[in-house]
Amino acid sequence: MSPQTPDAKNIRVLFLGPQGDGTHSMATEAQSRAARSLGAEFVVYDGESDGELIEALKDADVAMNQGHGFSPEMFAQMGNNGRCKGLVSFGHGYDTMDLDSAVKNGVVLANTASFGTEEVSNQTMMHFLVCSRKFVYHDKMIKNGGWSRDHLPPMGHIAGETFGIIGLGDIGRTVARKALAFGMNVIAYDPFVSSWDAKEYGVEMVTTPQEIARRSDYVSPHVYLTDKTHHMVNAEFFDLMKPTAYLINCSRGPVVDEIALIEALEQKKIAGAGLDVFEQEPIDPDNPLLKMDNVSVTNHYASYSEIAWDRANSQLGEEAMRIAMGYWPMSLINPDVRSTVEPRNWAVSWEVMLAELGK
């Protein structure tokens, strides 16, 4: 172990819960589990102003954010400029974080990206099946007193069809595994995954998103929201898709150009869509997508189950303690910070870290 590894009993973890209710009564048993197991101090922030938060950060080694607004100006008080060396945010996305500012100030950022992989992939496959079997239309028809087989075709066979994935990370790979179980051909676009690695997953890698659009019977993006992924599924993308193909989106709403999606559906350029996320959330009740019989919708809950939620809360605390104890987090979201901070111990599993610390 590095001689710079601090004594956990001197560590102070600051928890930032949801703002606005004035109660700060959020249960924190799971979030504090890692800190308590090492004897560190876990403090729930109860301030309201930026000034109070700045003062609280001065007395903390790491901060955890679960629903609290966090201005990028705070990074000037952290990292190389103060005691608090990092911030761990709850969830998968990090589009609200100013990564450049964090890197400049030497602030290590992490999230809880590995939770909910099974849940999101299951939600993806649910929407895929609902779309492929035209469930929305027939469910509504029968509940309204109808009984007709006039609108069955076209309906795909599923086995032997092509499932196209954009982004072959944890969730993308899990979706691929489940699509393969249905006897489908799986293709994927991910510039950061090599073809020989994808071979181990039974996935054929393609070189452009456009090839995903042209070849797929079902398209499913699983990417973070960044400047590069914003509206990557757009009008040009829909123009390339088969008229019998479906879009499934359980990643981030703005990855898809929603106006272009509505137009593609209205003009029958694609057969339908399954959506858990939208550009505006909560969705406008007058959004045309809610009135289409070939579109299945859920309200951005794909990552949820009680087990996944507990794991996410626990991971929030584990990542915070890794940062506080001089390790890199497992879910580092600003890797360029390696160039602006002192060397750290490699990220290891929580069990291995405990063993290394003699716990």
Q: How many residues belong to the chain? A: 359
Q: Is 36 a catalytic residue?
A: no
Q: Give helix 29-38 / helix 306-324 axis angle, nearest 10°.
A: 40
What is d(CA 238, CA 42) in angstroms, rounded to the nearest whole number? 49
Active site residue 222: no
Judge whether 92 counts as a catalytic residue: no
Residue 89: enclosing H or E segment and its boundaries? strand 86-89
Catalytic residue among 92, 222, 300, 322: 300
Residue with tokens 């063993």: 355
Q: Which of 12, 215, 222, 252 is catalytic?
A: 252
Instruction: State the Cα–Cα distance between residues 323 and 344, nearest whole angstrom.
Output: 9
Quick one: which of 201, 182, 171 has its CA closest to 308?
A: 171
Measured torsion, CA atoms of residues 67, 70, 75, 81, in degrees rounded to the nearest 10:
-80
Q: Cα separation of 254 and 123, whole Å?
A: 18
The answer to whether the CB of 163 falls within 8 A of the CB of 186 is yes
Give me the sheet containing 41-44, strands edge to edge.
Answer: 41-44, 12-16, 62-65, 86-89, 108-110
User: Residue 337 corresponds to which tokens in the numbers above?
Assistant: 């910070």
What SS3 class is residue 15? strand
Residues 6+ apart with CB under 8 A from 83: 57, 58, 59, 60, 61
90: burial class by Cβ within 10 Å (0-12, 13-18, 19+)? Answer: buried
Contact between 110 and 319 (Cβ < 8 Å): yes
Positions annotated as catalytic residues are 252, 281, 300
